[in-house]
Amino acid sequence: MAYGTKLDPRPISGSLSVQDLVDHYFLAYNAARLREACQIFARKIAQPEVTIGVTLSGALTPTGLGTAAIVPLIRAGLIDWIVSTGANLYHDVHRSLGFDLFGSSPFVDDVQLQKEKVIRIYDILFDQDVLFKSDAFFRECMREPEFQHTMGTAELHYRMGRYTQAREQALGSGYVSVLTAAYEAGVPVYTSSPGDSTIGLNIAQLALEGYDLRCDVELDVNETSAIVYNATQDNGKSAVVIFGGGSPKNFILQTEPQIQEILGLPGRGHDYYLQFTDARPDTGGLSGATPAEAVTWGKVDPHQLPDTIVCYCDSTLAMPIVAAYVLANVEPRPLKRLYDQRDAMLKRLADDYRAKAPDVQQSDKEILE
């Protein structure tokens, strides 16, 4: 009696493509989960009616995966919006400015590195001066008049993308950062905790100098909720592809509880959920929480659990494989340019909530009685 697919691989040849490797040799355990994630992305998520949100946590861009994997997906219309740690955006810009990062060993002498003013991110090394010069670049940009008001992080990153684009083009190295690609494609990029990165530290310094740039985190909550609300109206669907966990994972998933629980608007949860993580679920942390657990919070559509995958592997392994597989199997989609639609999407959310607000307020009173 057959309980599944017969596992009958053939010997691997030197001409094996990524697609054949994934489809025919990732047969069990987390390799099979990675295969399923690749196939769901290519066959179901990469459809015109699906709005695709991606999260980035962990030190991904220092490895070069921002320009190598995320940028091609953005340009192919396969990423519509992003929630990232500020650190991934900050460290990505080092190469935009012409600085080098080097692969090394995680077993070097850190005391000696400190004496030589060398920074280490596990097995990646770069000069401390790279930080100081990158800080100076961000501060000089953010002193410009266009930054002197309160804004959401999508606007902050969009405006910075114009400056990273100009610097990359001036250097002529061919390097393209996530900020530049997102700026060009109209992909809004949010940071769930804007004070928790060197970009945030530099904004704090500018505040002491008397500049007026501030990050509006409430606007970020409402904008991201509006993106998901708009995506799931008119027979549309929402997908989340989560690299790592942490704050970006919570921020992209909390959009559905915000829509349903807080605003009292109709919602069903995200339609597709892919996560690549090394976090265990049994410690109770959000990073390891499963799609089934997320159903109880209204974050994931319970009817779509077969289209949710958790693959327990390092994102630096999964990301290039997923990107290569999807780009080989999917035609580019037209850019949704959600950045340009933020005001309209937010108005739709606000209008629908205001029509519902009296009921929400009355419910609050009844709950508290």
- The Cα–Cα gap between 79 and 51 comes to 8
Burial state string for 121-157 with b = 16 or more CB within 10 A and e = fewer than 16 = eeebbbbeebbeebbebbeebbeeeebeeebbbbbbb
Q: Which residues contact 204 (CB under 8 A, 6 or more apart)?
A: 195
SS3 244: coil
Q: Which residues contact 244 (CB under 8 A, 6 or more apart)?
A: 55, 56, 57, 58, 60, 276, 277, 287, 315
- The Cα–Cα gap between 295 and 303 comes to 10
Concerning whether 347 is annotated as a catalytic residue, the answer is no
Q: What angle do CA 19, 20, 23 make, to 5 degrees?
A: 85
Nearest to 203 by CA among 234, 157, 238, 235: 157
Query: Residue 222, by phi and psi: left (phi above 0), alpha (psi -120 to 50) or beta?
Result: alpha
Chain-centre distance for alpha carbon 340? 18
Q: What angle do CA 191, 195, 200 make, to 5 degrees?
A: 90
- The Cα–Cα gap between 72 and 187 comes to 13
Burial state string for 290-322 with b = 16 or more CB within 10 A and e = fewer than 16 = ebeebbeebbbbeebeebbbbbbbebbebbbbb
In one-letter notation, the amino acid at residue 135 is: D
- The Cα–Cα gap between 187 and 82 comes to 7
The one catalytic residue among 237, 299, 347, 356:
299
Q: Count CA within 13 A, CB hemisphere, residue 325.
A: 25
**Catalytic machinery residues:** 299
